[in-house]
Amino acid sequence: MSDFQPEEIKLINDQFDDLLNYYKAVNPNGNIAIVQKAFQLAYQAHDGMRRRSGEPYIMHPIAVAEIVAKEIGLGATSISASLLHDVVEDTEYTIEEMEQMFNPKIASIVDGLTKIAGATTFKSDSIQAENFRKLLLTMSDDIRVILIKIADRLHNMRTLGSMPPHKQYKIAAETLFVYAPLSHRLGLYNIKSELEDLAFKYEHPATYADLASKISHSEEERDELFRQFTKPIEERLKILDFNFTIKKRIKSVYSIWKKMQQKDIPFEEVFDLMATRIVFEPKTYLDEKVQCWNIYSAITSIYRPKPDRIRDWISVPKANGYEALHMTVMGPKGRWFEVQIRSQRMDEIAEKGYAAHWKYKSGPDSNETELERWLKTIRELLETPESNAIEFMNDFKLNLFSQEIMVFTPKGEMKVLPQGATALDFAFEIHTELGLQCIGAKVNHNLVPLSHKLKSGDQVEIITSSKQKPQEEWLSFVTTARAKSKIKGIFKNERKKFIKAGEKRLEEKLNKLKLTTNSRILKKLEAYFDVETREELMYNIGRENIEIDNLQDILREKTQSKIVKYWRLQFGNKKNKQTPEKKQDSQPISKRKSIQLTDDKSDIDYTVATCCNPIPGDDVIGYVDENDNVVLHKRQCEKAIKLMSNYGNQIVDATWISHKLHSFLSIIKINGIDKQGMLSQISKVISEDQDVNMREVHFGSHDGVFEGIIHLYVHNVEDVNNLIFKIVKIKGITNVQRVEQSQLSQK
């Protein structure tokens, strides 16, 4: 007897029937029985369980299985594992029972999808990163683990509205940091775009709503332009006897916002909102590539192409298997149009990624693709994994580059590397020994150092020496995970020796002071020498990078400050004793779900992160460190996204309350026509503003235009916006915007 209501049981059965009917239609000879058996077990195991939204929990695994079947195109084993993916984690069933009831493959996939149980240490480890590493370990044997996990994440993002804000930020950041780029790398473009949009929607709801509204309002104009643009193309392709479809693709909200940020432009200046996609049924007697170029030729006989915007991914597919011919042409009303040309096979690979790529693989003798080479690299990375899960995640992220370059060996063999890769990365890409013995390289016949960054089309010859030994400084400039993991592997044993030497040296120094090593002393030393972990401290002591001859002074100085702090806490506030605060106020910050930021810092003492300099009015999150101190970041800050994706339990939702006492640093950038008196006019506007003070001014002009960077102290976002509104009114000013220090550093 089920614990669900009759209408809920009907809904569950209808949803599963829809999934089963779809699978039967696309796989008439598929293993229907095992899918039905998996559903029955999942239904029984999750009976009575509900999601936070209140719906029966079994609806979630069914939805994940639907994504796996319909949007990724996987088969019975994956659908069954999707239906069972939470059974072991949330119920009494074990992996061994899964193996007995189903088969070792399904059990192995379910095991890979089951989170690690138990807690983790506060700072050096991250349970989120550990869980992801476990996923990858299983993925190295079976790619279906990560594909199902992506489907699981997509459904969780689609239903994220029922979660509290601090959970939404953590999950959204983790999605942007790992799952969206991973989906892209596996060729799941539609899923990648939806994950990015959903994450953006929860991190910046107001901005998302504004952009979505603007896209919607311009839809009628876009449809008319699309009709005008495609009509002559359709006529020409019909004359050439092509069987084809033409679709329009609208740029995602997140990618529009990202372009606005990167190019410093408003929405109205994003001209490539829409792309035209031509998908054709290839003629059997002619090569697909030739037919793509025939369509290209037909279009360029109607519209003039932009030469620097031709992308030939049919001759050299992307590393994730993507094939297409892209071009940009000048269309009606002086608008640029991007056109994507694909065969039906190319389109299916683009839509369903790895699963479709494998379907079209011609057999065991076919050439190894870039996607398979990437998976091989991941397996190599897992062979010598970082002991620290966060470091491992950082190395793995290096393999998720979407921008790639094509580089050639002296014999003309092509290698695909991430943009920014160096000559040393190239050496490790060829062979580990070649990388370890590399002393230099010739790029296009010119001698270059190991750190030389390669460009697409470079021909590279590696120079080696048997006397060469790996250098630690190599880690500062290599960019590929393969190179980093191989270099780190060499230094692991050596590092252990230095750590032991450091422990011995510190112990000897402490013995002379009649002290023993304990966590209190180690924390003082870590803080004094500004190192993150005990391992790093011991390593630097062992290498004599850190001098501890004055150990007694270091410990005394820290101890005194602690005593003073203790004295003030115990005796300094007796006269001003306050009435007891609310219970929540006495709670450690790390246990709270949200905090309010006021002018009075007596309740919550927070600091502003220098990487993004948030000010009152910005969307912010708080990261709570091990001392219960709060560091504020903008939600879109890259460092904040990384913290939320790795340390979700230490993130609190932060809300600004009115601020008029404290001032915060903000930076604005001004562009305009260089003319006499311009700086004076800008300075006058700022000096007359009662809520703003200038700290630094940097102006430079070139060929009749200028750029100015002004550092200001303001109370909140409203002050900045008001000032920008006043400055932009000055004749000759073309653009004024708020920027971050990190954006200036990149330039």
Percent of the chain clearing pLDDT 90 (strictly above): 29
Give the model's pLDDT for residue 191.
92
Which structure tokens are listed for 690? Answer: 């009662």
Q: Which residues pair with 502 in a beta bridge?
A: none
Q: For 710-724, what is the mean pLDDT?
A: 87
Can you give the residue ranges of every domain in the chain? 6-205, 212-359, 370-488, 490-571, 584-656, 664-746
Range of 21-35, 353-367, 588-602 with top mean pLDDT:
21-35
Single-letter code of the amino acid located at 550: N
pTM, 2 dp: 0.70
Show Cβ contacts of residue 303 under 8 Å, excluding neighbours closer than 6 positions: 329, 330, 331, 337
Residue 76, helix vs strand vs coil: helix
**Better-scored residue on pLDDT, 130 or 310:** 310
Contact present, 623 and 173 (Cβ < 8 Å): no
Contact present, 78 and 148 (Cβ < 8 Å): yes
Helices 551-571 and 519-529 cross at an angle (nearest 10°) of 100
Give the model's pLDDT for residue 230.
95
Integer CA distances (angstroms), 387 to 51, 259, 392, 485, 647, in order: 35, 37, 8, 12, 17
Single-letter code of the amino acid located at 743: Q
CA–CA distance, 595 with 584 (Å, rounded to integer): 10
pLDDT-based confidence at 709, cuts 50/70/90?
Answer: very high
CA–CA distance, 322 with 349 (Å, rounded to integer): 7
460-496 burial, b at 16+ Cβ within 10 Å, e below that, comes to bbbbbeeeeebeeebeebbbbbbbbbbbbebeeeebe
Alpha-carbon torsion angle 659, 665, 671, 674, nearest 10:
110
For 527-585, write each residue's pLDDT tens digit.
888 887 888 888 889 888 888 888 877 777 644 443 333 333 444 444 343 444 444 44
Give the model's pLDDT for residue 254.
93
pLDDT at 238 over 90: yes
Give the model's pLDDT for residue 528.
83
pLDDT at 141 over 90: no
How does DSSP assign 310-372, residue by residue?
-EETTTS--TT----EEEEEE-GGG-EEEEEEEEHHHHHHHHHTHHHHHHT---TTSPPPHHH
86-96 burial, b at 16+ Cβ within 10 Å, e below that, comes to bbbeeeebeee
Contact present, 461 and 514 (Cβ < 8 Å): no
pLDDT at 4 over 90: no
Contact present, 65 and 87 (Cβ < 8 Å): no
Give the model's pLDDT for residue 308.
85
Contact present, 84 and 103 (Cβ < 8 Å): no
Q: For 682-687, what is the mean pLDDT?
A: 88
CA–CA distance, 581 with 603 (Å, rounded to integer): 10
pLDDT at 674 over 60: yes
CA–CA distance, 42 with 278 (Å, rounded to integer): 42
Contact present, 248 and 218 (Cβ < 8 Å): no
**CATH level 2 (architecture), domain 370-488:** Roll (3.10)
Domain at 212-359: CATH code: 3.30.460.10
Show Cβ contacts of residue 695 under 8 Å, excluding neighbours closer than 6 positions: 665, 711, 712, 713
Give the model's pLDDT for residue 384.
54
287 burial type by CB count under 10 A (0-12 exposed, 13-18 middle, 19+ buried): exposed
Which structure tokens are listed for 131? Answer: 């869980």
For 602-658, write each residue's pLDDT tens digit.
566 788 888 888 888 888 888 887 777 888 888 878 888 778 877 777 888 888 776
Give the model's pLDDT for residue 566.
37
**Pick from 143-147, 319-323, 465-469, 721-725: least confident:** 319-323
* Cα dihedral 561, 566, 569, 570 sign: negative
Give the model's pLDDT for residue 119.
36
Domain at 6-205: CATH code: 1.10.3210.10
Give the model's pLDDT for residue 700.
86
Taking CB atoms within 8 Å and a gap of at least 24, the contacts of 2-5 are: 2/47, 2/48, 3/47, 3/48, 4/47, 4/48, 4/56
Taking CB atoms within 8 Å and a gap of at least 24, the contacts of 720-728 are: 720/615, 720/666, 720/668, 722/689, 722/691, 723/668, 723/685, 723/686, 723/689, 723/692, 724/668, 726/685, 726/689, 727/668, 727/670, 727/682, 727/685, 727/686
pLDDT-based confidence at 705, cuts 50/70/90?
Answer: confident
Give the model's pLDDT for residue 368.
56
pLDDT at 107 over 50: yes
Give the model's pLDDT for residue 600.
60
CA–CA distance, 714 with 722 (Å, rounded to integer): 11
Give the model's pLDDT for residue 427.
94
Domain at 664-746: CATH code: 3.30.70.260
How does DSSP assign 514-525, residue by residue?
T----HHHHHHH
Contact present, 497 and 532 (Cβ < 8 Å): no
Q: Which residues pair with 668 in a beta bridge?
A: 710, 738
For 393-445, write each residue's pLDDT tens digit.
665 655 555 567 888 899 888 888 888 899 999 999 899 899 999 999 999 98
Percent of the chain clearing pLDDT 70 (strictly above): 82
pLDDT-based confidence at 510, cuts 50/70/90?
Answer: confident
Which structure tokens are listed for 745? Answer: 């550093």
Helices 32-45 and 6-26 cross at an angle (nearest 10°) of 160
For 29-84, write each residue's pLDDT tens digit.
889 999 999 999 999 999 889 888 889 999 999 999 999 999 988 889 999 999 99
Mean pLDDT, rounded, of the chain: 82
